Amino acid sequence: MKEKTKNKIKLLIGIIIGLILSVSGVYATSSMIESEEVTYDNKNSDGKYNNVQSSIDELYERSGIHKEEWTDKELNGNDPVITGDLIPVEIKPNGDVYYANKHSEWYNYSEKRWANAVILNEGKKETYSVGQKINENDINGYFVWIPRYKYQIWHATSEDGTPDGNTLINTNYGNSTTQALGQARLINIEFESKDTPKSEAKAETKDGDWITHPAFTLGTKELSGIWVGKFETGGDATNVIVKPNEISWRGANVKAFFDAGKKYNQTLDSHMMKNTEWGAVAYLSHSEYGIGTEVRINNNEEFKTGYSAAANTDQSSYKGDTGKSDEKDKTQPYNTPTGYLASTTGNISGVFDMSGGAYEYMAACIENTPGDSSFSTEDLAKEMDKGYIDKYPSDSDTTTYSKRILGDATGEMGPFYSYYEKDGSLHNHSAWYADDAYFANSSFPWFYRGGFNGNGILASQFTFHRYNGIAYNSLTFRLVLSPTN
């Protein structure tokens, strides 16, 4: 028998032994596989976690024996696309990040555990392998997988008049009349293969119909999902980062954010988040696969990413209570039980900063109306045609909620009302959690989402507002990656 064949047989025997021992909870030793110098205890001298399963993976690779990767059957073929610089990870409740083993269960959407991946700083990817803890300083960006899905329409018509228009309610904030406006519901979602003909919204689309969410079509590409920045974007134009406990990058105009998004990782088709992509995350968060309710506000007044308002803070009106990072009785980071409530899953695996933090400019605008974004009208039209900017009709106005794109989490959040907050300010509110609800108009053609740290009740994953595209100290953006498989 050839020596190569003998070694493969030894490796196969070692794999079988390792599997048996892993089931019984016993760690193997290197002596169990005579032909390989592999350490099987918990951690070797360089700190690498090399448990039975990760060692088995190495043996599979060396032997050439095929082993299928873990797939979540619930996703209907829309499992995370791991390509280019992406590394699959599991994030422990305390925030520690480990290189995930793709051959075992590293995500489960039925259990509200969404798939996470990171991009490391240049030159660091080759220094890590499966099972190893990844140094936070080596991470450049965190991303969360939003699988392709269709959803059931519940609000197909969104009229601009009563009751979905700008109806003024002469009432004080927070009383029983205001609270009765709540229309939030669990959104019905089914994960749908990109090979299935998609169902598109049509003029005759009605409540109860199902449509493929538009976020999973980018220009001519049909996607099995998108990677969404887990946190608001930090850093600056020369060094974009997506990490917790960072100060959001603010004070740039839309064009600067858009260009930085496109440059971040061209291989992974990175870009500035669109309204429809925000909507895809918001709807998934409010389904059986997500937190199923309003995510808690990030009320960190220093604009640090991943924070969450402490339970005793008052967020029942505008303005809400804020706090500094060291004021734990007011605001706490993402890797704490309080922090989890600001996630789209209610645990550490979800997307953060979708309520509060900084306002987030969207790549979403009225056609032929670049405002003060630094886009030319021609370049704006080109990016809209390519699918990187959501396009809204030229006759859109503050309360023309019927101009929404189904799935963008704007017009479907009605009915809409206006009433006064405790500080005396008048706001347009949606019936979903009394959030701010302002549609884009010719003077303010760009959408922004989520609210900011002092918005209190006005902020959530369903908040939408508009601005002129200019740089502003409370506005940032979010990254999206859209690789194909």
Six-digit token string for 162: 């009563």
> Is 125 in a helix, a strand, or coil?
helix
The two three-digit tokens of residue 285, written as one number: 């968060």
Q: Look-up: residue for tokens 């960072």?
A: 246
Residues with Cβ within 8 Å of 328's Cβ and at least 6 positions away in sequence, in order, are 310
CB-based contacts of 274, cutoff 8 Å, min separation 6: 215, 362, 363, 364, 388, 389, 390, 480
All structural domains of the chain with their residue ranges: 3-63, 73-147, 151-216+228-480
H helices, E strands: number in the chain: 7, 25
Contact criterion met (CB below 8 Å) for 234 and 358: no
For the beta carbon of residue 16, count every other beta carbon within 10 angstroms: 11
Q: What is the DSSP letter of 344?
A: S
DSSP 94: T
What is the predicted pLDDT for the residue at 52? 45
Residues 177/217, Cβ–Cβ less than 8 Å: no
Query: Distance between the two ends of the chain, CA-based, in angstroms?
Result: 40
pLDDT tens per residue, the chain (485 residues)?
Answer: 555 555 555 555 555 555 544 444 433 333 332 333 333 234 343 444 444 444 555 555 555 555 689 999 999 999 999 999 999 999 999 999 999 999 999 999 999 999 999 999 999 999 999 999 999 999 999 999 999 999 999 999 866 644 344 454 545 554 444 544 678 999 999 999 999 999 999 989 999 999 999 999 999 999 999 999 999 999 999 999 999 999 999 999 999 999 999 999 999 999 999 999 999 999 999 999 999 999 999 999 999 999 999 999 999 999 999 999 999 999 999 999 999 999 999 999 999 999 999 999 999 999 999 999 999 999 999 999 999 999 999 999 999 999 999 999 999 998 888 888 888 888 999 989 999 999 999 999 999 999 999 999 999 999 999 999 999 999 999 999 999 98
Q: Which two tokens stand for residue 397?
A: 């106005």
In the chain, the amino acid numbered 238 is T
Half-sphere exposure of 301 (CA within 13 A, CB side): 12
With vertex at residue 55, the alpha carbon angle to CA 49 and CA 61, rounded to the nearest 5 degrees, is 130
Q: Name the nearest CA neighbour of 350 among 168, 193, 144.
A: 144
Among 145, 147, 164, residue whose Cα is nearest residue 156: 164
Alpha carbon of residue 213 to chain centroid: 15
Say if residues 460 and 295 touch (Cβ distance below 8 Å): yes
